Structure 1
Amino acid sequence: MSRIYHIKNDQEKLKARYKELIEQAYNFRQTDSALSDISEYKAIKLLYKLSRLKYLSSEHLKTSI
């Protein structure tokens, strides 16, 4: 169970960081488009990591059943 706990914990941290980056990208949109694009790119990379963690947690649940 500790593996699932670590995956879920990582997911929550990444979700919070993703939300921050998206908000930051939105706020920079009017003042500095380059910073906005950078924040959005980082958010997309985090979204990819979240997707992989979601897959890992679903695979772990399938194997434990």
Structure 2
Amino acid sequence: MFHLLDTNGDGRISIEELTDVMKGLGATGDDAQELMQLLDANGDGSLSSNEFDSFQRQVKFKVCSK
């Protein structure tokens, strides 16, 4: 999944890449900004594969624990 979102292949998901995906899903640029702030653990303005994997584990845990 990470590699699908990392459209330029630089090993990071930028705010532009996240915004493009979220707009394709019907969300807004503001939604992408909020999500980036939540997931960008080191505050560098992009998501590493580790940050993205952490997010996926949290979502999986919440879904499986219901």
TM-score (normalised: structure 1): 0.34
Structure number with higher relative contact order (C-alpha < 8 Å, ≥ 6 residues apart)? 1
Structure number with larger C-alpha Rg: 1
TM-score (normalised: structure 2): 0.34
Higher helix content, 1 or 2:
1
